[in-house]
Amino acid sequence: MVKLLNKLFQVAGCGLLCVAVFFPGLAQAEPTAEAVAPAPARQKELINLVRQDCGSCHGLRLEGGLGLPLTPQALREKSPDALKETILYGRAGTPMPPWKPFLTDAESGWIVQMLLKGLP
Amino acid sequence: MRRYSIFTVFIGLLALQGCATPPLRGTGDLGVVIERAAGSIQVVETTHRTRLGQIAGLGDLSHASVNYSRDERYAYVFGRDGALTKVDLLKMRIEKRVMQSGNSIGGAISQDGRLIAVANYTPGGIKVFDSETLEQVADIPAIDHTGKPSKVVGLVDAPGNRFVFSLYDAGEIWVAELRDPAKPALHKFTNIGKEPYDGMITADGRYYVAGLFGEDGLALLDLWHLDAGVKRVLNGYGKGEQKLPVYKMPHLEGWAATGNELLVPAVGRNEVLVIDQNNWMEAGRIPVHGQPVFVVARPDNRQVWVNFAFPNNDTVQVIDVPSRAVVKTLKPGKAVLHMEFTPRGENVWVSVRDDDRVEVYDSETFAKIGELPADKPSGIFFTPRAHRTGL
Protein backbone atom coordinates (compact mmCIF):
# COMPACT_ATOMS: atom_id res chain seq x y z
CA MET A 1 0.00 0.00 0.00
CA VAL A 2 2.73 2.42 1.05
CA LYS A 3 4.76 1.44 -1.98
CA LEU A 4 1.82 2.08 -4.24
CA LEU A 5 1.26 5.47 -2.66
CA ASN A 6 4.89 6.34 -3.16
CA LYS A 7 4.61 5.35 -6.77
CA LEU A 8 1.50 7.46 -7.24
CA PHE A 9 3.34 10.25 -5.59
CA GLN A 10 6.29 9.97 -7.93
CA VAL A 11 3.96 10.00 -10.91
CA ALA A 12 2.19 13.10 -9.60
CA GLY A 13 5.51 14.79 -8.91
CA CYS A 14 6.75 13.92 -12.38
CA GLY A 15 3.59 15.37 -13.90
CA LEU A 16 4.27 18.65 -12.17
CA LEU A 17 7.83 18.63 -13.30
CA CYS A 18 6.70 18.16 -16.90
CA VAL A 19 4.35 21.12 -16.53
CA ALA A 20 7.25 23.17 -15.22
CA VAL A 21 9.49 22.13 -18.12
CA PHE A 22 6.97 22.72 -20.87
CA PHE A 23 5.25 25.75 -19.43
CA PRO A 24 7.96 27.61 -17.56
CA GLY A 25 5.87 30.80 -17.55
CA LEU A 26 2.96 28.98 -15.93
CA ALA A 27 5.15 27.62 -13.18
CA GLN A 28 6.65 31.03 -12.50
CA ALA A 29 3.28 32.72 -12.44
CA GLU A 30 2.54 30.78 -9.27
CA PRO A 31 3.96 32.76 -6.37
CA THR A 32 6.17 30.60 -4.20
CA ALA A 33 4.68 29.64 -0.90
CA GLU A 34 7.20 31.44 1.23
CA ALA A 35 6.62 34.70 -0.58
CA VAL A 36 2.97 34.87 0.48
CA ALA A 37 2.42 33.94 4.09
CA PRO A 38 -1.22 34.20 5.20
CA ALA A 39 -2.27 36.88 7.69
CA PRO A 40 -1.56 35.93 11.33
CA ALA A 41 -5.21 35.19 12.18
CA ARG A 42 -5.51 32.93 9.16
CA GLN A 43 -2.23 31.23 10.03
CA LYS A 44 -3.72 30.32 13.38
CA GLU A 45 -6.80 28.89 11.67
CA LEU A 46 -4.69 26.89 9.26
CA ILE A 47 -2.49 25.44 11.99
CA ASN A 48 -5.63 24.42 13.87
CA LEU A 49 -7.02 22.87 10.69
CA VAL A 50 -3.85 20.84 10.11
CA ARG A 51 -3.51 19.70 13.73
CA GLN A 52 -7.15 18.92 14.33
CA ASP A 53 -8.73 18.05 10.99
CA CYS A 54 -5.78 16.61 9.08
CA GLY A 55 -4.93 15.11 12.46
CA SER A 56 -8.09 13.00 12.45
CA CYS A 57 -6.41 10.71 9.90
CA HIS A 58 -2.73 11.66 10.19
CA GLY A 59 -2.69 11.90 14.00
CA LEU A 60 -2.74 14.95 16.20
CA ARG A 61 1.05 14.84 16.29
CA LEU A 62 1.04 14.07 12.57
CA GLU A 63 2.87 10.85 13.25
CA GLY A 64 0.43 8.91 11.12
CA GLY A 65 -2.77 6.97 11.58
CA LEU A 66 -4.99 5.78 8.77
CA GLY A 67 -3.07 8.38 6.75
CA LEU A 68 0.71 8.51 6.37
CA PRO A 69 2.92 10.43 8.80
CA LEU A 70 3.39 14.13 7.97
CA THR A 71 6.42 14.83 10.13
CA PRO A 72 9.40 16.71 8.60
CA GLN A 73 11.31 13.43 8.65
CA ALA A 74 8.59 11.59 6.78
CA LEU A 75 8.25 14.33 4.16
CA ARG A 76 11.95 15.10 3.67
CA GLU A 77 12.28 13.23 0.39
CA LYS A 78 9.04 14.54 -1.11
CA SER A 79 8.69 17.37 -3.57
CA PRO A 80 7.04 20.40 -1.90
CA ASP A 81 5.07 21.11 -5.08
CA ALA A 82 3.75 17.58 -5.22
CA LEU A 83 2.75 17.82 -1.55
CA LYS A 84 0.92 21.06 -2.24
CA GLU A 85 -0.94 19.42 -5.12
CA THR A 86 -1.87 16.46 -2.90
CA ILE A 87 -3.38 18.84 -0.35
CA LEU A 88 -5.33 20.76 -2.99
CA TYR A 89 -6.49 17.90 -5.15
CA GLY A 90 -6.37 14.86 -2.87
CA ARG A 91 -5.10 11.51 -4.01
CA ALA A 92 -7.29 9.28 -6.13
CA GLY A 93 -7.65 5.73 -4.91
CA THR A 94 -6.99 6.72 -1.30
CA PRO A 95 -9.17 8.41 1.34
CA MET A 96 -7.16 11.68 0.97
CA PRO A 97 -9.76 14.28 -0.09
CA PRO A 98 -9.16 17.53 -2.04
CA TRP A 99 -8.90 20.58 0.25
CA LYS A 100 -9.10 23.08 -2.60
CA PRO A 101 -12.59 24.30 -1.62
CA PHE A 102 -11.14 25.56 1.67
CA LEU A 103 -7.59 26.62 0.80
CA THR A 104 -5.95 28.92 -1.71
CA ASP A 105 -2.94 27.78 -3.64
CA ALA A 106 -0.68 29.97 -1.51
CA GLU A 107 -2.18 28.67 1.72
CA SER A 108 -1.58 25.10 0.64
CA GLY A 109 2.04 26.01 -0.18
CA TRP A 110 2.42 27.67 3.21
CA ILE A 111 1.06 24.55 4.95
CA VAL A 112 3.65 22.45 3.13
CA GLN A 113 6.42 24.80 4.30
CA MET A 114 5.13 24.53 7.86
CA LEU A 115 4.96 20.73 7.67
CA LEU A 116 8.51 20.54 6.33
CA LYS A 117 9.74 22.78 9.13
CA GLY A 118 7.66 21.06 11.78
CA LEU A 119 4.33 22.48 12.87
CA PRO A 120 4.54 24.96 15.79
CA MET B 1 -29.39 32.23 57.04
CA ARG B 2 -28.88 29.93 59.96
CA ARG B 3 -29.70 27.00 57.80
CA TYR B 4 -27.06 28.16 55.39
CA SER B 5 -24.36 28.26 58.04
CA ILE B 6 -25.22 24.81 59.30
CA PHE B 7 -24.99 23.64 55.75
CA THR B 8 -21.57 25.26 55.42
CA VAL B 9 -20.35 23.53 58.57
CA PHE B 10 -21.70 20.27 57.27
CA ILE B 11 -19.85 20.69 53.98
CA GLY B 12 -16.71 21.62 55.91
CA LEU B 13 -16.96 18.47 58.00
CA LEU B 14 -17.54 16.47 54.87
CA ALA B 15 -14.43 17.98 53.32
CA LEU B 16 -12.39 17.18 56.43
CA GLN B 17 -13.64 13.67 56.40
CA GLY B 18 -12.81 13.56 52.72
CA CYS B 19 -9.15 14.00 53.61
CA ALA B 20 -9.19 10.67 55.37
CA THR B 21 -11.53 8.59 53.25
CA PRO B 22 -13.33 9.69 50.10
CA PRO B 23 -17.11 9.69 50.51
CA LEU B 24 -18.79 6.56 49.22
CA ARG B 25 -20.34 6.86 45.81
CA GLY B 26 -21.43 4.63 42.96
CA THR B 27 -20.02 4.94 39.46
CA GLY B 28 -23.12 4.34 37.32
CA ASP B 29 -23.54 8.03 36.55
CA LEU B 30 -19.88 8.71 35.81
CA GLY B 31 -18.14 9.26 32.53
CA VAL B 32 -14.98 10.43 30.85
CA VAL B 33 -14.51 13.34 28.47
CA ILE B 34 -11.36 13.14 26.36
CA GLU B 35 -9.33 16.33 26.04
CA ARG B 36 -7.50 15.27 22.94
CA ALA B 37 -4.86 17.96 22.54
CA ALA B 38 -3.95 18.33 26.21
CA GLY B 39 -3.66 14.58 26.72
CA SER B 40 -5.96 14.73 29.71
CA ILE B 41 -9.36 13.36 30.63
CA GLN B 42 -12.15 14.83 32.69
CA VAL B 43 -14.16 12.64 35.00
CA VAL B 44 -17.76 13.86 34.94
CA GLU B 45 -21.06 12.83 36.52
CA THR B 46 -24.37 13.05 34.72
CA THR B 47 -26.74 13.40 37.70
CA HIS B 48 -25.83 17.00 38.47
CA ARG B 49 -23.88 17.49 35.25
CA THR B 50 -20.61 18.45 36.88
CA ARG B 51 -16.94 17.80 36.48
CA LEU B 52 -15.44 15.77 39.31
CA GLY B 53 -11.83 16.05 38.30
CA GLN B 54 -9.20 16.04 35.63
CA ILE B 55 -6.41 13.54 35.06
CA ALA B 56 -3.41 14.55 32.95
CA GLY B 57 -0.48 12.74 31.42
CA LEU B 58 -2.27 10.34 29.07
CA GLY B 59 -0.25 11.19 25.94
CA ASP B 60 -1.63 11.70 22.42
CA LEU B 61 -5.38 11.35 22.75
CA SER B 62 -6.40 12.08 19.18
CA HIS B 63 -8.96 9.43 18.34
CA ALA B 64 -8.86 8.17 21.91
CA SER B 65 -11.55 5.81 23.10
CA VAL B 66 -12.53 4.26 26.41
CA ASN B 67 -13.78 0.91 27.70
CA TYR B 68 -14.93 0.27 31.24
CA SER B 69 -14.33 -2.55 33.70
CA ARG B 70 -17.46 -4.51 34.51
CA ASP B 71 -17.63 -2.87 37.96
CA GLU B 72 -17.65 0.52 36.23
CA ARG B 73 -14.77 1.70 38.38
CA TYR B 74 -11.87 1.61 35.96
CA ALA B 75 -11.61 3.31 32.59
CA TYR B 76 -9.23 1.87 30.00
CA VAL B 77 -8.12 4.69 27.75
CA PHE B 78 -6.63 3.90 24.33
CA GLY B 79 -4.35 6.63 22.97
CA ARG B 80 -3.20 7.24 19.43
CA ASP B 81 0.42 6.97 20.56
CA GLY B 82 -0.06 3.32 21.47
CA ALA B 83 -0.58 3.85 25.18
CA LEU B 84 -3.09 1.88 27.21
CA THR B 85 -3.94 3.62 30.48
CA LYS B 86 -6.04 2.24 33.30
CA VAL B 87 -7.69 5.01 35.30
CA ASP B 88 -9.40 4.67 38.67
CA LEU B 89 -12.49 6.88 38.48
CA LEU B 90 -13.00 6.89 42.25
CA LYS B 91 -9.46 7.66 43.33
CA MET B 92 -9.20 9.89 40.29
CA ARG B 93 -5.75 8.73 39.30
CA ILE B 94 -3.84 6.67 36.79
CA GLU B 95 -3.60 3.11 38.08
CA LYS B 96 -1.37 1.63 35.37
CA ARG B 97 -0.08 2.62 31.98
CA VAL B 98 1.71 0.67 29.24
CA MET B 99 3.06 1.74 25.86
CA GLN B 100 1.93 -1.25 23.90
CA SER B 101 2.56 -0.19 20.29
CA GLY B 102 3.62 2.73 18.13
CA ASN B 103 0.19 3.75 16.95
CA SER B 104 -3.20 2.45 18.01
CA ILE B 105 -6.82 3.08 17.21
CA GLY B 106 -9.03 1.63 19.92
CA GLY B 107 -9.81 -1.31 22.08
CA ALA B 108 -12.35 -3.69 23.54
CA ILE B 109 -12.97 -5.52 26.78
CA SER B 110 -13.83 -9.23 26.80
CA GLN B 111 -17.18 -10.66 27.80
CA ASP B 112 -15.76 -11.89 31.13
CA GLY B 113 -14.04 -8.57 31.75
CA ARG B 114 -10.62 -10.14 32.17
CA LEU B 115 -9.04 -9.19 28.87
CA ILE B 116 -8.38 -5.87 27.20
CA ALA B 117 -7.63 -6.02 23.47
CA VAL B 118 -6.05 -3.10 21.63
CA ALA B 119 -6.21 -2.55 17.86
CA ASN B 120 -2.98 -1.25 16.38
CA TYR B 121 -1.89 0.45 13.19
CA THR B 122 1.86 0.16 13.78
CA PRO B 123 2.72 -2.64 13.95
CA GLY B 124 -0.67 -3.79 12.74
CA GLY B 125 -2.48 -6.33 14.86
CA ILE B 126 -4.10 -6.72 18.23
CA LYS B 127 -2.46 -7.14 21.60
CA VAL B 128 -4.35 -8.52 24.54
CA PHE B 129 -3.76 -7.58 28.18
CA ASP B 130 -4.87 -8.78 31.57
CA SER B 131 -7.41 -6.16 32.66
CA GLU B 132 -6.15 -6.16 36.26
CA THR B 133 -2.42 -6.00 35.77
CA LEU B 134 -2.14 -4.80 32.15
CA GLU B 135 0.34 -7.59 31.55
CA GLN B 136 0.36 -8.75 27.96
CA VAL B 137 -1.25 -12.16 27.49
CA ALA B 138 -1.48 -12.43 23.70
CA ASP B 139 -0.08 -10.82 20.57
CA ILE B 140 -1.86 -11.37 17.26
CA PRO B 141 -0.03 -9.65 14.36
CA ALA B 142 -2.30 -8.84 11.43
CA ILE B 143 -0.35 -10.49 8.64
CA ASP B 144 -2.70 -11.03 5.72
CA HIS B 145 -2.96 -14.09 3.49
CA THR B 146 -0.23 -12.71 1.21
CA GLY B 147 2.16 -12.13 4.10
CA LYS B 148 1.75 -8.35 4.34
CA PRO B 149 1.09 -6.46 7.57
CA SER B 150 -2.17 -4.57 7.87
CA LYS B 151 -3.64 -1.87 10.07
CA VAL B 152 -6.41 -3.11 12.31
CA VAL B 153 -9.72 -1.29 12.69
CA GLY B 154 -13.21 -1.99 14.01
CA LEU B 155 -12.19 -4.09 17.02
CA VAL B 156 -15.14 -5.23 19.14
CA ASP B 157 -15.82 -7.90 21.74
CA ALA B 158 -18.27 -10.70 21.08
CA PRO B 159 -19.89 -13.41 23.21
CA GLY B 160 -17.66 -16.41 23.91
CA ASN B 161 -14.68 -14.26 24.92
CA ARG B 162 -14.09 -13.48 21.29
CA PHE B 163 -12.77 -10.37 19.63
CA VAL B 164 -13.68 -9.45 16.08
CA PHE B 165 -11.74 -6.97 13.96
CA SER B 166 -11.01 -5.89 10.40
CA LEU B 167 -7.75 -5.55 8.46
CA TYR B 168 -7.88 -2.22 6.65
CA ASP B 169 -5.14 -2.79 4.09
CA ALA B 170 -5.87 -6.46 3.48
CA GLY B 171 -9.67 -6.39 3.37
CA GLU B 172 -10.10 -9.21 5.87
CA ILE B 173 -12.19 -9.87 8.99
CA TRP B 174 -10.72 -11.96 11.78
CA VAL B 175 -12.43 -13.57 14.76
CA ALA B 176 -10.10 -14.36 17.67
CA GLU B 177 -11.42 -16.69 20.33
CA LEU B 178 -9.56 -16.22 23.60
CA ARG B 179 -10.99 -18.74 25.98
CA ASP B 180 -7.36 -19.69 26.48
CA PRO B 181 -5.38 -16.48 25.85
CA ALA B 182 -2.18 -18.49 25.48
CA LYS B 183 -3.70 -20.20 22.45
CA PRO B 184 -5.93 -17.80 20.57
CA ALA B 185 -8.06 -19.58 17.96
CA LEU B 186 -8.31 -17.49 14.81
CA HIS B 187 -10.96 -17.60 12.09
CA LYS B 188 -9.93 -15.50 9.11
CA PHE B 189 -12.20 -14.25 6.36
CA THR B 190 -10.45 -12.91 3.26
CA ASN B 191 -11.68 -10.79 0.34
CA ILE B 192 -14.41 -9.18 2.39
CA GLY B 193 -14.17 -5.91 0.41
CA LYS B 194 -11.87 -2.97 -0.13
CA GLU B 195 -10.67 -0.91 2.83
CA PRO B 196 -12.90 -1.78 5.77
CA TYR B 197 -12.59 1.42 7.80
CA ASP B 198 -14.50 0.50 10.95
CA GLY B 199 -16.75 -2.18 12.32
CA MET B 200 -19.57 -2.64 14.77
CA ILE B 201 -21.47 -5.45 16.39
CA THR B 202 -25.21 -5.52 16.98
CA ALA B 203 -26.28 -5.11 20.60
CA ASP B 204 -27.07 -8.84 20.90
CA GLY B 205 -23.51 -9.68 19.86
CA ARG B 206 -24.59 -11.71 16.85
CA TYR B 207 -23.80 -9.70 13.72
CA TYR B 208 -20.50 -7.99 12.96
CA VAL B 209 -20.66 -5.39 10.23
CA ALA B 210 -17.65 -3.69 8.64
CA GLY B 211 -18.10 -0.50 6.63
CA LEU B 212 -16.10 -0.32 3.42
CA PHE B 213 -14.38 2.83 2.29
CA GLY B 214 -12.96 1.53 -0.98
CA GLU B 215 -16.32 0.45 -2.34
CA ASP B 216 -20.02 1.02 -1.74
CA GLY B 217 -21.15 -1.65 0.62
CA LEU B 218 -20.85 -3.34 3.97
CA ALA B 219 -19.40 -6.69 4.97
CA LEU B 220 -21.60 -8.78 7.25
CA LEU B 221 -20.57 -11.71 9.42
CA ASP B 222 -23.11 -13.79 11.38
CA LEU B 223 -21.18 -14.93 14.45
CA TRP B 224 -23.69 -17.70 15.05
CA HIS B 225 -22.82 -19.16 11.67
CA LEU B 226 -19.16 -18.55 10.96
CA ASP B 227 -19.25 -21.31 8.33
CA ALA B 228 -21.57 -19.21 6.20
CA GLY B 229 -18.75 -16.70 5.79
CA VAL B 230 -18.87 -12.98 5.15
CA LYS B 231 -21.70 -11.64 3.01
CA ARG B 232 -21.78 -8.34 1.18
CA VAL B 233 -24.77 -6.14 1.95
CA LEU B 234 -25.95 -2.87 0.45
CA ASN B 235 -23.67 -3.54 -2.44
CA GLY B 236 -23.25 -0.55 -4.73
CA TYR B 237 -25.52 1.76 -2.73
CA GLY B 238 -23.83 4.71 -4.43
CA LYS B 239 -25.05 3.34 -7.78
CA GLY B 240 -21.78 4.31 -9.42
CA GLU B 241 -22.31 8.01 -8.77
CA GLN B 242 -19.28 10.16 -8.03
CA LYS B 243 -18.63 10.14 -4.30
CA LEU B 244 -18.34 13.40 -2.43
CA PRO B 245 -14.98 13.92 -0.74
CA VAL B 246 -14.93 12.64 2.84
CA TYR B 247 -13.11 14.96 5.26
CA LYS B 248 -13.48 12.69 8.22
CA MET B 249 -13.97 8.95 8.36
CA PRO B 250 -17.37 7.88 9.68
CA HIS B 251 -17.32 5.93 12.91
CA LEU B 252 -19.32 2.80 13.28
CA GLU B 253 -19.17 2.20 16.97
CA GLY B 254 -22.23 4.33 17.35
CA TRP B 255 -24.17 2.77 14.53
CA ALA B 256 -27.72 2.77 15.55
CA ALA B 257 -29.49 -0.54 15.81
CA THR B 258 -33.10 0.42 16.27
CA GLY B 259 -35.13 -2.71 16.67
CA ASN B 260 -35.36 -4.21 13.21
CA GLU B 261 -33.45 -1.48 11.46
CA LEU B 262 -29.83 -0.41 11.36
CA LEU B 263 -29.10 3.21 10.60
CA VAL B 264 -25.62 3.71 9.19
CA PRO B 265 -23.67 6.57 7.65
CA ALA B 266 -23.25 6.47 3.88
CA VAL B 267 -19.70 7.09 2.67
CA GLY B 268 -19.25 9.99 0.25
CA ARG B 269 -22.96 10.79 0.33
CA ASN B 270 -24.90 13.13 2.60
CA GLU B 271 -27.23 10.37 3.67
CA VAL B 272 -28.02 8.00 6.48
CA LEU B 273 -28.81 4.55 5.13
CA VAL B 274 -31.55 2.41 6.66
CA ILE B 275 -30.99 -1.34 6.57
CA ASP B 276 -33.74 -3.85 7.26
CA GLN B 277 -32.13 -6.32 9.63
CA ASN B 278 -34.48 -9.13 8.62
CA ASN B 279 -33.13 -9.41 5.08
CA TRP B 280 -30.14 -7.02 5.23
CA MET B 281 -31.54 -5.02 2.32
CA GLU B 282 -31.71 -1.28 2.01
CA ALA B 283 -34.98 -0.05 3.50
CA GLY B 284 -34.52 3.64 2.86
CA ARG B 285 -32.28 6.68 2.84
CA ILE B 286 -32.49 9.83 4.88
CA PRO B 287 -30.94 12.96 3.35
CA VAL B 288 -28.93 14.84 5.96
CA HIS B 289 -26.82 17.98 6.30
CA GLY B 290 -23.42 16.51 5.41
CA GLN B 291 -21.22 13.43 5.53
CA PRO B 292 -22.41 11.67 8.69
CA VAL B 293 -19.72 10.70 11.21
CA PHE B 294 -21.60 9.33 14.22
CA VAL B 295 -25.15 7.99 13.90
CA VAL B 296 -26.21 7.35 17.48
CA ALA B 297 -29.52 5.98 18.68
CA ARG B 298 -31.13 7.24 21.85
CA PRO B 299 -31.42 4.29 24.24
CA ASP B 300 -35.17 3.98 23.50
CA ASN B 301 -34.38 3.90 19.74
CA ARG B 302 -37.02 6.51 19.00
CA GLN B 303 -34.44 9.08 17.89
CA VAL B 304 -31.11 9.01 16.15
CA TRP B 305 -28.64 11.86 16.49
CA VAL B 306 -26.14 12.54 13.72
CA ASN B 307 -23.02 14.70 13.54
CA PHE B 308 -21.01 15.53 10.45
CA ALA B 309 -17.57 15.73 8.90
CA PHE B 310 -15.72 18.96 8.15
CA PRO B 311 -16.88 21.48 6.86
CA ASN B 312 -20.38 20.72 8.20
CA ASN B 313 -19.16 19.86 11.66
CA ASP B 314 -20.95 22.73 13.41
CA THR B 315 -24.26 20.89 13.09
CA VAL B 316 -26.16 18.06 14.73
CA GLN B 317 -29.38 16.65 13.31
CA VAL B 318 -32.01 14.56 15.03
CA ILE B 319 -33.86 11.90 13.06
CA ASP B 320 -37.24 10.68 14.23
CA VAL B 321 -36.96 6.96 13.56
CA PRO B 322 -40.63 6.03 12.89
CA SER B 323 -41.09 8.80 10.30
CA ARG B 324 -37.45 8.79 9.14
CA ALA B 325 -37.58 12.58 9.10
CA VAL B 326 -35.06 15.08 10.38
CA VAL B 327 -37.03 16.77 13.15
CA LYS B 328 -34.37 19.08 14.53
CA THR B 329 -31.20 20.77 13.36
CA LEU B 330 -28.92 22.14 16.07
CA LYS B 331 -25.82 24.30 15.75
CA PRO B 332 -23.88 23.58 18.95
CA GLY B 333 -20.69 25.27 17.72
CA LYS B 334 -17.45 24.75 15.87
CA ALA B 335 -16.34 21.16 15.36
CA VAL B 336 -18.86 18.86 17.02
CA LEU B 337 -16.94 15.62 17.50
CA HIS B 338 -19.06 13.27 19.56
CA MET B 339 -22.42 12.68 21.23
CA GLU B 340 -23.20 10.42 24.19
CA PHE B 341 -26.57 9.73 25.75
CA THR B 342 -27.10 9.45 29.48
CA PRO B 343 -27.94 5.86 30.47
CA ARG B 344 -31.69 6.17 29.86
CA GLY B 345 -31.44 8.80 27.19
CA GLU B 346 -33.09 11.88 28.69
CA ASN B 347 -29.98 13.95 27.97
CA VAL B 348 -27.29 13.92 25.37
CA TRP B 349 -23.80 15.34 25.87
CA VAL B 350 -22.14 16.90 22.87
CA SER B 351 -18.44 17.78 22.55
CA VAL B 352 -17.64 20.99 20.68
CA ARG B 353 -13.92 20.85 20.04
CA ASP B 354 -13.02 24.30 18.73
CA ASP B 355 -15.27 26.09 21.22
CA ASP B 356 -13.67 24.19 24.12
CA ARG B 357 -16.87 23.01 25.73
CA VAL B 358 -19.27 20.15 26.24
CA GLU B 359 -22.97 20.97 25.88
CA VAL B 360 -25.84 19.04 27.41
CA TYR B 361 -29.21 18.85 25.68
CA ASP B 362 -32.62 17.63 26.74
CA SER B 363 -33.33 14.98 24.11
CA GLU B 364 -37.09 15.55 24.23
CA THR B 365 -37.30 19.35 24.02
CA PHE B 366 -33.86 19.87 22.37
CA ALA B 367 -33.22 22.69 24.85
CA LYS B 368 -29.65 23.22 25.95
CA ILE B 369 -29.65 22.60 29.69
CA GLY B 370 -26.00 22.73 30.58
CA GLU B 371 -22.48 23.44 29.55
CA LEU B 372 -19.06 22.40 30.86
CA PRO B 373 -15.71 23.85 29.86
CA ALA B 374 -13.28 21.33 28.34
CA ASP B 375 -9.99 21.66 26.51
CA LYS B 376 -10.57 20.58 22.88
CA PRO B 377 -12.99 17.81 23.88
CA SER B 378 -13.50 14.80 21.62
CA GLY B 379 -14.97 11.49 22.82
CA ILE B 380 -17.48 11.30 25.67
CA PHE B 381 -17.91 7.90 27.29
CA PHE B 382 -20.33 7.06 30.10
CA THR B 383 -19.85 4.05 32.36
CA PRO B 384 -22.99 2.07 31.32
CA ARG B 385 -20.94 1.11 28.26
CA ALA B 386 -19.39 -1.43 30.66
CA HIS B 387 -22.41 -3.66 30.19
CA ARG B 388 -22.93 -3.34 26.46
CA THR B 389 -21.39 -5.75 23.98
CA GLY B 390 -19.23 -3.94 21.46
CA LEU B 391 -18.74 -0.81 23.54
**Distance between CA B143 and CA A49 in Å, rounded?**
34
pLDDT at residue A33, as a whole number: 44
SS3 B359: strand
Give a yes or no: residue B77 inside a domain: yes
> What order of strands is seen across the sheet that includes strand B347-352?
B336-341, B347-352, B357-362, B368-373
Q: How many A-B residue pairs are in contact by the CB < 8 A criterion?
A: 64
In a domain, B343, yes or no: yes
- Co-location of B257 and B227 in the same domain: no
Pick from A1, A60, A98: which is nearest to B36 by CB? A60
Q: Which domain holds residue B303?
A: 249-391
- Closest CB to A60 among B62, B122, B247: B62
- Judge residue B323's burial from the number of C-beta atoms within 10 Å of its C-beta, 0-12 exposed, 13-18 middle, 19 or more buried: exposed
The mean pLDDT of B154-179, rounded to a whole number, is 97
Using the predicted structure, report yes or no on whether residue A35 has a pLDDT greater than 60: no
Q: Which residue among B121, B213, B247 places its CB closest to the CB of A65?
A: B121
Interchain contact, A60 vs B245, CB within 8 Å: no
- Domains of chain A are 2-117 (1.10.760.10)
Q: What's the CATH code of the domain at B94?
A: 2.140.10.20
Same domain, B214 and B262: no
C-beta atoms of B311 and A102 within 8 A: yes
Distance from C-alpha of B183 to C-alpha of B178, rounded to nearest angstrom: 7
Question: What confidence score (pLDDT) does residue B253 get?
Answer: 66
Tell me if B15 is assigned to some domain.
Answer: no
| Comparison of pLDDT for B9 and B228, the residue scoring more | B228
Rounded CA separation A41/A48 (Å): 11
ipTM comes to 0.82
Run of H or E including B9: helix B2-20
Query: Which residue does chain A place closest to B213, by CA atoms?
Result: A95
Report DSSP letters for A39-89, one per residue: PHHHHHHHHHIIIIIIHHHH-TTSS-SSSPP-SHHHHTTS-HHHHHHHHHH
Q: What is the pLDDT of residue B199?
A: 95
Most confident of A3-7, B104-108, B208-212: B208-212
In a shared domain, residues B112 and B190: yes
Give residue B178's pLDDT: 96
**Range in B95-109, B160-174, B242-256, B362-376 the model is least confident about:** B242-256
Residue B75 sits in the same domain as residue B220: yes
What's the whole-number average pLDDT of chain A?
79
Is there a single domain that holds both residue B177 and residue B257? Answer: no
Closest residue of chain A to B121, computed from CA coordinates: A65
From chain B, pick out residues whose CB is under 8 angstroms from the CB of A87: none
pLDDT digits (tens, 9 = 90+) for A36-72: 789 999 999 999 999 989 998 998 889 888 899 999 9
B353 close contact with A: CB closer than 8 A: yes
Q: Does A63 touch chain B (CB under 8 A)?
A: yes
Percent of chain B with pLDDT over 70: 93
Contact A53 B151 (CB under 8 A): no
Nearest to A63 among B103, B247, B353 (CB): B103
- Rounded distance between C-alpha atoms, residue B185 and residue B101, angstroms: 22
Highest mean pLDDT among A8-12, B13-17, B295-299: B295-299
Asked if residue B357 and residue B272 are part of one domain, the reply reads yes
- Residue B25 in any domain: the answer is no
